[in-house]
Structure 1
């Protein structure tokens, strides 16, 4: 089976990196291209990762003056979502410059997202408000793959084309999906972890949610790759961060049992359990765990904090996404590797796909924005540095 991991080439375009039988085979011969110095802006590097390349350019797009495109993410204020917003802003800026639109004639793009990542209700409220504005096109990163169907029906009835980015849904009328190939990224994470733990031992999996397609695809990629190719690795626990209340109940029961074993009748309630206690209890339940894979930036930070608090300095940790804290963790060795997505490219390509939808130009069903494998050893290489974000 082929595991295609999209990496940076010496031309800094997206290419496919093949691993024999899906195993981790990333030797120097595969990574040497990352050592090439290239005088190129970080934003151009990120656009070069987008496939098809037509989605890294606004050439040929002639939207009407004053057109409005609405973009709705899963959150605001984090490094990842800020990068998506930046990519969208730069795309519309390039579009206005190409068309010579100024002042009130300018095409407008707005980015909105819930104040807390994972808040489905707030995202739907934002979606309702944006549909009331009748944008030329609407792009959304669904938190829940099934929660927006009523709104999507309404958009379709009003001829508002829908593009999905970052994660998707099962809705049939989507014009394009702009995102990382999350299943392949999960497979890459599995291969890298296998290499770190010599292809044997227990691994814990921490997933940002159990509702979004991005989370589900990463989980599927990780588990499928390990099951198919690493029989001596066991995923001994999978934990979803949007199931925190259930995890608190589990932790409360365990802590109550400990109290009784120590001669105390004090009963611990779920309401009194902290997130730190939850994470500590998970590690205590798996004393033989050799590695942790976290499927988002926020979850990666939680896992790092958990392992530091427990003194698990030998725990191998692989995460997703970037940001200043995770870059520092790579540099100091507490984090072994990151799957860095291309949020800037996602934002830019989303505007292109949305504009094409508004003009009935036709779209690719899937626009692959690429990812890179980043470690302490390669993070100073020019191409990799251009992919990092804070």
Structure 2
């Protein structure tokens, strides 16, 4: 009897051990909520609001579902990060659902080779429609474009979501983007505070057609108008219309040509020349703000070029006033340089870098959504542009603010502006330091931020935009209901907080 009981107990113990082992195996494959188990890209998902768009769990798509995402570009750092988010969401979906091989959910990302190429984007959309995807997500370069294609999609039962930049088409199921209005207002008050709450500033807008550009431009202008009476947006420059300004620059320079002299064509001027020309029309300009990475870099190169040519003009003027020949000056400089080499350099004598607008060491959030997101990511959403009235421009590339605060279109920037050589600095012009701020964080922008040439940047969450767009697309296919707007967050980044771990995790290059 005793042996029978021992045998029974042994069998029970073995069963218990087997059950325990199975339980441990199950636990190892189940996410418990411990943050140490979160994926390395989780910091890019935490700012997304609503939180339902942060992960793919519960999205039970059928095998072979086809999701097509179309961006504004394939090439830039921002859009490469968007693509990374799209592809990561696709991988997570297939892993969650256990799909492999030909059974996988198909998710594609396509964009124009050249940024903001509307014609190529429309061609890509046509090609994708011919493949009959289950849903299309698109970042519209022109918010009024693609109506014919969207009608065709609707007729064929293909729903549409928007990402990064919305579209006026009434059938859009959801829009995933930065909160552009808040982000642009943040940039406006940071710039205004940095220049001491007074002076002229220039706004460089990446285009006149996208919702993103319109929202950012209008919100920037509104923040200044409402809260900074002594700051004036002296120029609003739409960079897709710079050719109009270049044409006027060429016409100005050709006015004094004599017979037989070669005319200057608008192609002789670069975008940097055009922006530099506008800087010269406002010799007391205090700040420049760019609404995306390309416009921020355009401002940086124009400032550098103006400073270089200005320094050369002042140096030559000083030589003339001293009655010194160029050869004598060069010889004297060489002697001075030889003296300098003999003396040790004092590294502390380097020029100090301007502080951030508020001098704070930590990045901040605007509209954090919930306390956890405020503490963990300090980010908020935003993606927008300017009013249609401002964006239309009537064919001109800039809006020049008049003295009474009204806005008049003036591509040349004024009658007294460098007619003989519009791309060079006027003699005798004195420049104050121009504070530059803007959007996004390319590799070159990051370097300029570290070196103090850029004072602050609104850094978006492109990975989060890509990831949440796939979630929104999946919810559309499943008819699970979507939020009209999904906010993906942004950071305010300065030289002071650039190297913080939480900031570093959100950067992209």
**Equivalent residue, structure 1, for 2:93:** 95
Q: Which residue of 1 aligns with 2:266?
A: 270
1:129 paired with 2:127, answer yes
Query: Does structure 1 residue 334 correspond to structure 2 residue 453?
Result: yes
Partner residue in 2 for 1:107: 105
Runs of 5+ in structure 2 lacking a partner?
A: 1-35, 308-430
Aligned residues: 351
Matched residue SS, 2:172: coil
Rounded Cα–Cα distance in structure 1 between residues aligned with 2:214 and 2:296: 16
SS at match of 1:310: helix
Deviation at 1:51, TM superposition (A): 0.3
Larger radius of gyration: 2
The worse-fitting range, judged by mean Cα deviation, of 303-312 and 160-169 is 303-312
Q: Deviations over 1:308-365 (max 9, x none)?
A: 1111782100110112111111101100000000000000000000011011111000
Residue of structure 1 in register with 2:502 after alignment:
383
Shift of 1:269: 2.3
Partner of 2:47 in structure 1?
A: 49
1:359 aligns with 2:355: no
- Take 1:331 and 1:313, find their aligned partners in 2: how far apart are those partners? 21
CA distance 1:58–1:114, change in 2 (3 Å): same
Hey, what's the Cα distance between the residues in 2 that align with 1:46 and 1:331?
23
> Deviations 1:239-287 (Å, cap 9, x if unpaired)?
1111121121122133335x56x99965422233233321221211121
Counterpart-to-counterpart distance in 2, 1:202 and 1:130? 46
Are the structure 2 counterparts of residues 304 and 264 from structure 1 closer, same or farther at C-alpha, using a change threshold of 3 Å?
farther
Match of 1:288 in 2: 284
With normalisation by structure 2, the TM-score equals: 0.67
Whether 1:346 and 2:465 are equivalent positions in the alignment is: yes
Question: Does the CA contact (< 8 Å) of 1:209 and 1:242 recur in 2?
Answer: yes
> Which position in structure 2 is the counterpart of 1:255?
253
Deviation at 1:381, TM superposition (A): 1.1
Cα contact 1:69–1:138 (8 A) shared by 2? yes
Which residue is 1:198 aligned to? 196
Q: Give CA-to-partner distance per residue, 1:361-383, whole Å, 9 cap, x none.
A: 11000000010100000111111
In the alignment, the residues of structure 1 paired with residue 95 and residue 464 of structure 2 have an alpha-carbon distance, to the nearest angstrom, of 19
Equivalent of residue 228 in structure 1, options 221, 226, 251: 226
CA distance in 2, matches of 1:92, 1:275: 39
The Cα offsets for residues 109-166 of structure 1, whole Å up to 9 and x where unpaired, read as 1111111111111100100000111111100000000111111111111111101000
- Choose from 155, 179, 182 the match for 1:181: 179
Question: Which of these residues, 113, 135, 155, is aligned with residue 157 of structure 1?
Answer: 155
The structure with the greater share of residues assigned to strand is 1
Following the alignment from structure 2 to structure 1, what is the Cα–Cα distance between the partners of residues 40 and 98?
26
Which residue of the other structure, out of 208, 211, 221, is the alignment partner of 1:210?
A: 208
Q: Normalized against structure 1, the TM-score is what?
A: 0.87
SS at match of 2:496: coil
- State the partner residue of 1:28: none
Give the gaps of 5 or more residues in structure 1. Answer: 1-37
**DSSP-derived class of the 2:41 partner:** helix
Conservation of the 8 A alpha-carbon contact between 2:135 and 2:476: yes
Aligned-residue Cα RMSD (Å) equals: 1.9
1:316 aligns with 2:314: no
Partner Cα distance (1:243, 1:195) in 2: 30
